[in-house]
Amino acid sequence: MRIVFLDRDSLPATENFMGPETPHDLVQYPRTTPDQVIGRIRDADIVIVNKVVLDAVAIAAAPRLRMIAVAATGTDNVDLEACNQRAIVVSNVRDYAVHTVPEHTFALMLALQRNLLAYRQSVREGRWQESGQFCYFDFPVRDLAGSTLGIIGRGALGEAVAGIARAFGMHVQFAARRGAGKPGDDYVDFEQVLRTSDVISLHCPLNAQTRGMIGAAEFVLMERRPLLVNTGRGGLVDEHALEHALRNGQISGAGFDVSSQEPPAPDHPLMRLLDHPNFILTPHVAWASESAIRTVIQQVRANIDAFLRDEPRSMVAGRRAVP
């Protein structure tokens, strides 16, 4: 049995990845470019992947492929329909980031709300000594307590963020799916969330319905000039519209851990915003606490072992074979 890990460097080298208990040949590539995918998976029975794209063409070129083990929760890089057509099992990892992503989300919120980076830089530049007193007030400091948090996405991460928010004394509202009709009792109309939130945090998957869900029209609705925090997927937000909204005061700040292009090109809208005092960009590390990474590795191995026992788990595709 041949197992191929296409982007081993997406996990730290310090964390050892052990293959399944079943005898196997494990080949690990640090990273894989699009033109290398087919050649590397052609003879694979199982492919482990984090962010490398496995489209229908690549999947069709791998006749032995029986399982794709995704070392992440998001599966937008895998053509799930092509996998269903051949009953190729696709299993992802789940709930490994229920502490690390919410904590990172609040790190971004707090840094922006309290202007931590601006104050740190001004202290480095000698502003404290220049002020001549015990403190100075160059940048506004805002509390989270009493503000309204709008959460888009109500999975494990959205719920965990809500729990922390309530502990801070924030009012929490979950956005209903756009176009879903009358919101349920625990949801607020999508557009109403945009209008009434002081902070908006994104925790939904990237798919055809959510791609570009926050764009120019949505920024116009944000009457309270909220902070926008995105630790979900870069494609959820039109980044050109984000740049315009931030530079023109439609929102008061933005904290992003994701980009539509990773890594972003030097002229990418998020890179152009790095000079803005109310913008923070981190390199997709919200998920990457030490304990979370260990959990990812353990789940990937457990998913493969379960598949080999003919007891597949955490499946997002492969439940049906289409003749």
Alpha-carbon span 108 to 278, nearest angstrom: 11
233 is catalytic: yes
262 is catalytic: yes
- Beta-carbon neighbour count of residue 276 at 10 Å? 14
| Span 284-303, pLDDT tens digits | 999 999 999 999 999 999 99
Identify the domain containing residue 18 by its residue range: 2-96+290-317
Pair 184, 260 in one domain: yes
Q: Within a domain: residue 70? A: yes
Q: Within a domain: residue 89? A: yes
Pair 68, 183 in one domain: no
Pair 213, 72 in one domain: no
Pair 20, 88 in one domain: yes
Pair 139, 214 in one domain: yes
Q: Within a domain: residue 311? A: yes
Alpha-carbon span 2 to 164, nearest angstrom: 43
Pair 105, 239 in one domain: yes
Q: Where are the beta strands (DSSP E) in 165-299?
A: 171-174, 199-202, 227-230, 253-256, 279-281
Q: Please give the model's pTM, rounded to 2 decimal places.
A: 0.89
Pair 110, 149 in one domain: yes
244 is catalytic: no
DSSP 96-153: TTTTHHHHHHHHHHHHHHTTHHHHHHHHHTTHHHHH-SS---SS----STT-EEEEE-
Q: How high is the pLDDT of residue 239?
A: 98
Task: Give the active site residue among 15, 125, 262, 290.
Answer: 262
Three-state SS at 212: coil
Q: Within a domain: residue 322? A: no
Q: Within a domain: residue 323? A: no
Pair 257, 112 in one domain: yes
Pair 244, 124 in one domain: yes
Low-confidence ranges of the chain (pLDDT < 70): 181, 319-323
Backbone dihedral region for residue 143 (phi beyond 0: left; psi -120 to 50: alpha; all else: beta): beta
CATH code for the domain of 61: 3.40.50.720
Pair 299, 177 in one domain: no
Q: Within a domain: residue 126? A: yes
Domain count, the chain: 2
Pair 175, 54 in one domain: no
DSSP 11: S
Pair 229, 269 in one domain: yes
Task: Give the active site residue among 40, 154, 203, 233.
Answer: 233
